[in-house]
Every structure is written in structure tokens, then in C-alpha cells.
Chain A
Amino acid sequence: MKRVYPDKEYCIGCHLCELACITVHSKSQDLIIAYTQERLEDGLKACKRFQEKGPTCVALSCRHCDDPACVAACISGALQKDPETGATTYDIEKCVGCWSCLMACPYGAIQRHPTLNKIVKCDLCRDREGGPACVAACPNMALKFEER
């Protein structure tokens, strides 16, 4: 399946992927409203986890593992493996905020929602034409969406 592959050699740490992510996952679909209102009021949060050490940085998100530890750990059935697409899907309605996935995922790809008792996780922008927004927004092709 196609996955998002981050390249730390060319990640320039601009965080534009995060801005793209929250825009796509916002109600308004408008960056300015998403960032200045929904982020602060509704706890809208990017699915990316940004890591930095010295000059090196990278924006990580769910790897959609073949055998995901989060699905094994999920007590509510909110996280599942889609047998057709191969994606690790997340149903926010089912999530009870037990943080088991956050503990089990060794990639740190799962985060807590700032205001809801829910997690935030990459859905590969499944409703977006043209694939994940973070990849499209990256100005340096440090994120690639492809089959490997």
C-alpha cells in the first residue's frame, strides 16, 4: 500500500505539514480559521509528531503498520486494520481515551487530543483527492506518499 515516508535528510522543519494536516481535518477547511480558532477552541491538532535533534528534524505520523501494535492494544475497537486498503483506521466515536495505543505504538505516532478524551492519528487524508495533505504541502519533498 502507499504510505507516507518522511525523509530526515531533507526535512527543513518548517511545520507546513502540520498546518496542512489541521486544515484538512478542520471543520472550516480554512487554514486561518483552523489555526486561530479551531486549534485553540476545539483542540484541533495535527497528526504529525515533529522530532528535532540538532540540525536534524523529521515529521512523523502513523506508519499504518502491517501488524499494528495499536490495534492489538485497542480495547474499544476504535483502531482497526482495514483488510481492503491496509490502512490502520481510527473511529473517533468508539475511542474511550484509554491511551493503550499511545503506550503500545513504538513509533510515537499516536497523540492525545488536547481537549477531548480521544486520540489523534493520521488517516492518510482518506477523503482528500490527491492523497495526504502533508505530502502535498511539504515544500522540500521530504514527505513521500508511495508504494515501497
Chain B
Amino acid sequence: MLFQPINKNYHDYRIERDKDLCINCKVCIRQCAYEAHFWDEARQKVRHDNTKCVGCHRCEALCPTGALCIRLNESEFRPNACWRPIFMKNIYKQADTGGVLLAGMGSPVDIPVYWDNLLLDASQVTNPSIDPLREPMELKTFLGSKPDRVEFAAPAKGKKGKPKLTTKLAPQIELNYPIMFSAMSFGSINFNLHVAMARAATELGICYNTGEGGLHKSLYKYGKNTIVQVASGRFGVHAEYLNAGAGIEIKIGQGAKPGIGGHLPGEKINEKVSETRMIPVGSDAISPAPHHDIYSIEDLHQLIFALKEASRYRVPVSVKIAAVHNVAAIASGIVRAGADIVAIDGMRGGTGAAPAMIRDNVGIPIELAIAAVDQRLRDEGIRNRASIIAAGGTRCSADVVKAIALGADACYIGTAALLAVGCTLCGKCYTGKCPWGIATNDSKLSKRQNPDIAARKMANLIRAWGHEIEEMLGGMGLNSIESLRGNRDKLRAVGLSSTEMDILGVKHAGR
């Protein structure tokens, strides 16, 4: 194209505008954050520039006449099994810019999704199934360290009454559903969505995680349903913050970018973000790759107990790590260091920004990680000492059920929650111009998320999943999520190798 780099035409999407339907009302122009649609003064009509389209579908969604359709650009390079177009385009891009390829949201690469190879059981004839609409069904989940054994004291001699529990229980997070909104920091997503998550979590009786950006003062009132996170940047961490929530989470790693820190560009640091993160407006918020005070399990132990001290042992402390090769051994160390909860983030987990090479090539799938960690902790006899949370790539209620059957106590959902409020996985979070008003602090764009709507949608999603989980549990003849935890006998594999089945701890279908 004229005056453009020569590879500009190798764009990903094509905007298709139906001439009969388009009325030139300009709604698409106003909605597009990337200026792909524009008003052509000379022609007196709305036109578009395909090269600017990021495939977010915002225009298509709001077009009042349904005149727009976003398609993949069908221009094709010569087929090449090795040099797929994505590699070619990335090279063109880097040859132009000399920069690291950035990416947003979870990895789209074709790495096995084990959920799809796992099938659930159902009762037939014997051990009859349960109808959750007629009989009680318990999804309540407690996260936190459970005692090795419980002791009771009988009522004093000659006195009536029930035996009393004498074992001192560790603090627990009580959830009405085995699902939580995972850590998405205030800054990476905007305030409206934090409000929405807080409200939805409160309404549902679950928790949302603040992420590493601190907690805005106005959201302290949702503290009972909040897990506050402490990450390597220590943004917004202070005594009040640590005591504001129902739990504290130390973030060591993130599934989308294991081994990598974070970088929230200065443009995203507005007044509110600044006061919450305790950094100046407009300054970059850089989270170092490691915690500079953690170089060993002992150091982690120290931080866990520092946080427990700071919160006077009232709330459980979680440690979140990315699912990597030695995840089982690392998890074991974390539990021994005193963590009450271990959150494991699989490689398909989302991110606001990550180097594409890291996102697409580092880490392991969550299914394998959960199974490995659960097994390891059982083998070591310490599984009761910590709850396990599975994060990264939970797409539906069946994934939740499978995760729990593999050994998780609960799931974190991030991408699914964002999809509920409109995200179309265009993956351009790192530009800060999210047309759906999610991964942006632009005051014009972030208005697109009305917390009233967003909270309702998030709550609807979890309720819907809750119903489905109850149905699946009932079908298996179970009446409580507790009975499913680590119950791998309820899973069968299809199309997996014996190594994979061995790691997952499941039999092949038919066995």
C-alpha cells in the first residue's frame, strides 16, 4: 500500500460491510478503538482500513443493522507445514521493529488440551444417580489447611451435650462454588471490572483475587470476598491491605509467562491506579521476575509467615506458581514452607501482556500439573495441609469438574470471566486500547464496562456453571463436591498415551 511498509497488506482480518445494510450511521467509527473505520468526507460514507482491524468484533457487535462481518483475511502464503504464516508474519514484524513480540490473553497455540481427552463417569442401575433439583447438593468448598487429625472432648461427666472439637482449625476461605475469579490486577483491567468482580463474588459467596495492583479503598467493603495478592512489585501492599481480604496470595509466577515479571506501561497509570498501587501517575509499574527477597523455600517460608503475622493468622496464605516442569516438587516445598493454599497456573492462562515466545513456549498444561501436584502431596502425606487451586484454561463447568476430579479444590477463572463481559480474545490487551473496555484504563473506553451489567453477567456465569456441576455430580451419584475431589476413578481418558494417563492417574476409556 502507498506510503506503508510493504508487509502492511499481510493483515489478519478483513472487514466485510454489507452495502445494502450499512446506513453510514458511524456507530462502528465511534466503537473502533483502532480507527479501522473512518468517515470518508469525499465519498460521504463510512469506510474501513482492514490493516488496522484487530478482530475484536466490537463494531460487528454494535452495528445496528448487522451490516458488518469480520473475517480472517483469506490471502494465503504458499502452504508450508514448517513455515506457517504466523512465523512469517512475526519475522516481518520484527524485521520492521526490532522489538520483542508482545501478546495478550492465553496462548492460542495448538498444545493438547487434556480436558478434551478426559471423560466423566455417570451412574447406571447400581449406585443410582441423584437429581440435584430434588435432593440436596453441596458445592460448598473450604480453602485452607486441614488438620492431620481432629480431636474431640466428651462432655464433662454427668453433663449432657455434644462432644466438642478441641483441635484448633486453621483459617479457611469459604466458597459457595468451587470457582473464584482469578488475579487480574487493577491497572491491567480497569476499576469498573474490579467493582464488578467484587460485587459478583459477594453476591455469589465466592472470592475474587485483586491481582498484584493493590485494592482500591472503595472496594474494602467487599473484603470478605476478596483475596489480596502480594507480588514481586509489592504494589499497593500495606498492613491495611493485607488485612482487608479473606485471604492473602503470594504470586510467584503466572502461567502465561513463567519466569517473567510484569510491566504495566505508564500510560495505564491514572489517578486511581496510582493511589492504589502507591506509585506516581504515569510511571511504569515494573514487577521484577523474581521476588528479590525469595531465593529459597526458606525465604518463602519467611514471607508466608511475615504475612501471617501481619494478618494475625486470621486468613489463609496462598502461593501461586506457574505450572512448570518440576511443579510437583515445587508445590511440595511450598506446602512445607507453610502455605495454606497452592494455586497452580497452567500455560494456557491469560495475561494482559507477555512476550509471545514465553507465552507460547514456556510452562506445562494445567491438567498435568494438577494431577502431578495432587499425587505428590498425597504420596508425601501432606495433601491435607494445603488446598490446591487450578488456574489457566478453564473453559466450562466440565473443565472445573475434571480439575477437581484430578485433585484440585477449586478453580480460578480469568479468561472465562472476561469472556462473560464481552472479551472476544482478540489478544490486544497490551495495547491498552481494549475496545470492550476491559484491558484499558482509557476513560472513554473503560466506560464500556458498566459494573451493573458486568457483575450480573459474571454472577450469571458462575450460577450457570454451578447448576451444571450439580447435574454432573448428581449423574455420578455424588451429592457433594468433596466426594469428587481427587476421585480420578470418575475420569477416563480417550486418545492419550500410557505416559499421559499415568501422569493424570486415569484409566483409558473402556477400562
Contact = CB atoms under 8 A, between A and B. Distances in A.
A55 B443 contact: yes
A15 B453 contact: no
B18 to A, nearest CB: 11
A38 to B, nearest CB: 11
B147 interface: no
Interface stretch (A63-71, A84-92, A109-117, A136-144): A136-144
B450 A142 contact: yes
B27 A31 contact: no
B48 interface: no
B448 A15 contact: no
Contacts of B23: 31-32, 35-36
Interface in A1-43: 9-16, 19, 31-32, 35-36
Contacts of B25: 15, 19, 35
Contacts of B443: 54-56
B42 to A, nearest CB: 19
B450 A140 contact: yes
Contacts of A137: 64
Contacts of B27: 14-16, 19
Contacts of A54: 443
Given A10-B447, A11-B447, A32 B21 contact: yes
Given A31-B64, A31-B65, A55 B30 contact: no
Given A19-B25, A32-B23, A141-B453, A14 B447 contact: no
B450 A13 contact: no
B65 A32 contact: yes
Most chain B beta carbons < 10 A, residue from A9, A12, A15: A12
Interface in B150-173: none
Nearest to A22: B25
A13 B30 CA distance: 7
Nearest to A34: B23
A45 to B, nearest CB: 14
A61 to B, nearest CB: 18
B464 interface: no
Interface residues of B, number: 20
A14 B452 contact: no
Contacts of A11: 447
A141 B64 CA distance: 16
Interface string B1-29: 00000000000000000000101111100
Given A13-B30, A35-B25, A141 B452 contact: yes
Given A14-B30, A14-B31, A31-B23, A19 B64 contact: yes
Contacts of A141: 450, 452-453
Most chain B beta carbons < 10 A, residue from A11, A31, A139, A142: A139
Interface string B63-77: 011000000000000
Contact of B447 (A31, A32, A140): A140
B65 A12 contact: no
B64 A140 contact: no
B91 interface: no
Most chain A beta carbons < 10 A, residue from B27, B448, B450, B453: B450
A36 B21 CA distance: 10
Given A14-B30, A14-B31, A139 B62 contact: yes
A133 to B, nearest CB: 12
Interface string B24-67: 11110011000000000000000000000000000000101100
B444 interface: yes
Contacts of B450: 10, 140-142
A12 B27 CA distance: 11
B329 to A, nearest CB: 48
11 contacts: A11-B447, A12-B444, A13-B444, A14-B30, A14-B62, A15-B30, A19-B25, A36-B24, A140-B447, A140-B453, A141-B453
Given A31-B65, A35-B23, 19 more contacts: A10-B447, A11-B447, A12-B444, A12-B447, A12-B448, A14-B62, A15-B27, A15-B30, A16-B27, A19-B27, A32-B23, A32-B65, A36-B24, A54-B443, A55-B444, A56-B443, A137-B64, A139-B62, A140-B448
Interface of A: 9-16, 19, 31-32, 35-36, 54-56, 137, 139-142
Q: Would you list the 9 A-B pairs with minimal beta carbon distance, nearest first? A: A55-B443, A55-B444, A10-B450, A35-B23, A140-B450, A12-B448, A36-B23, A19-B64, A141-B450
